[in-house]
Amino acid sequence: MQTHKESAIISAETPLIANLDMCENIALIKEVHDNMSTVDAESLAVEILSVLGLKKISRKRVASCTKEEQFLVMCIRAMMTQEKSVMIKLPGEILGSLLHIQKLIQSMKKLNNGKEIFILDSLNHKKHYEGCECNIEK
């Protein structure tokens, strides 16, 4: 997980850790940054995955999950940081397509704990974000 000033960054350059399962990828943030116990951090991770209807992927490795599931786990991980905002850099590079980006952003809103969310993308992809409540940075 990369951070910049007061933002957690989600990008293709900050992937999930392949040899950890989804639950462990999420829990690691709380374990390292907040000194939370592994048991408590993993319990919290499963609880958050459940909110998004993703409890079934909690023990799956990165390669066993869809790009959308991986993206949402990256979002959960970013939301659990202490930074005040989240920057999503070129989401199409992570997802391979922006076809379902609106649905994914709606899922992110369920997790939002007061962080401001910025999407950094090119003007060519502007149509994919129409009606989106996130801030679009060019």
| Lookup: tokens for 20 | 């950890």
Sign of CA dihedral 125, 104, 109, 106: positive
The predicted pLDDT at position 77 comes to 94
Alpha-carbon separation of residue 45 from 18, 50, 58, 89 (angstroms): 17, 9, 8, 23
Domain count, the chain: 1
Query: How many angstroms separate the CA atoms of 8 and 115, rounded?
Result: 10
- CA atoms 72, 55, 62, 76: torsion sign: positive
The CATH number of the domain holding residue 105 is 3.40.50.300
Average pLDDT, rounded, for the chain = 88
For position 110, what pLDDT does the model report?
86
Residue 122: which domain range?
Answer: 2-137
Whether residue 138 is predicted with pLDDT greater than 60 in this model: the reply is no
pLDDT at 106: 86
pLDDT digits (tens, 9 = 90+) for 27-47: 999 999 999 999 999 999 999
- Percent pLDDT > 70 in the chain is 88
Provide the pLDDT for residue 112. Answer: 75
pLDDT tens-place string over residues 66-107 = 999 999 999 999 999 999 999 999 999 999 999 888 898 888
**Phi–psi pair at 121, nearest 5 degrees:** -155, 170
Give the pLDDT band of residue 1 (cuts 50, 70, 90).
Answer: low
Helix (H, G, I), strand (E, B) or coil at 67: helix
110: Cα within 13 Å, side-chain hemisphere:
14
